Amino acid sequence: MSESGRLMSGIRDAIAARDADGLARGAHTMRGMLRSLSANAAQELAGMLQSLDLESNRQQAEVACELLAQAVARLKVELRSLIDEVQSSGLGHRSGQRVSFPASAADGPP
CA 9, 12, 13, 14 torsion: positive or negative? positive
pLDDT of residue 75: 92
**Domain containing 55: what range?**
4-105
Q: Is residue 83 part of a domain?
A: yes
pLDDT of residue 88: 82
pLDDT of residue 109: 46
Q: Is residue 110 part of a domain?
A: no
Q: Is residue 46 part of a domain?
A: yes
Residue 65, phi-psi category: left (phi > 0), alpha (psi -120 to 50), beta (remainder): alpha
| pLDDT digit string (tens) for the chain, length 110 residues | 678 889 999 999 999 999 999 999 999 999 999 999 889 999 999 999 999 998 899 999 999 999 999 999 999 998 888 888 888 877 655 544 555 545 444 444 44
Q: Is residue 15 part of a domain?
A: yes
Q: Is residue 62 part of a domain?
A: yes
Domain count, the chain: 1
pLDDT of residue 89: 78
